[in-house]
Amino acid sequence: MSIIYDALKEVMDQAGVASPPALTEDTVIVGKDAVLDSLGVVSLIVEVEQALDAKHNVAVTLASDKAMSAKNSPFRTVGVLADHVLQTIAETGAAA
């Protein structure tokens, strides 16, 4: 979870977005009231992927076509994204 917060802060910082008062599991990433635009989301995903690789030696692809076409986007909120990360790691069996 801290990886996602760090990545999100980093990306918002890059994009010049004033951070919302506090980032929580319910912070909306995609959709209405989102803190990021589409490019920001792409950046966030890459940041999280790179951080997982660097800090935990886990290589995953979070933005698969399947994830993108899912009825409920796995990138809706910070909490949902965290679940998606764990699930993707479990599915690919890449957990170290």
Positions in the binding site for another protein (CB under 8 A): 10, 14-15, 38-39, 41-43, 45-46, 50, 54, 63-65, 67-68
Cα–Cα nearest to 44, from 3, 80, 91 = 3
Cα 33 from chain centroid?
Answer: 16
Cβ nearer to another protein, comparing 24 with 50: 50
Cβ nearer to another protein, comparing 15 with 23: 15
DSSP 3-state percent helix, strand, coil across the chain (nearest 5): 55, 0, 45
What is the nearest approach in angstroms of another protein to the Cβ of residue 46? 5
Cβ nearer to another protein, comparing 24 with 64: 64
What is the nearest approach in angstroms of another protein to the Cβ of residue 38? 6
Packed helices 2-15 and 38-56: angle between N→C axes, nearest 10 degrees: 140
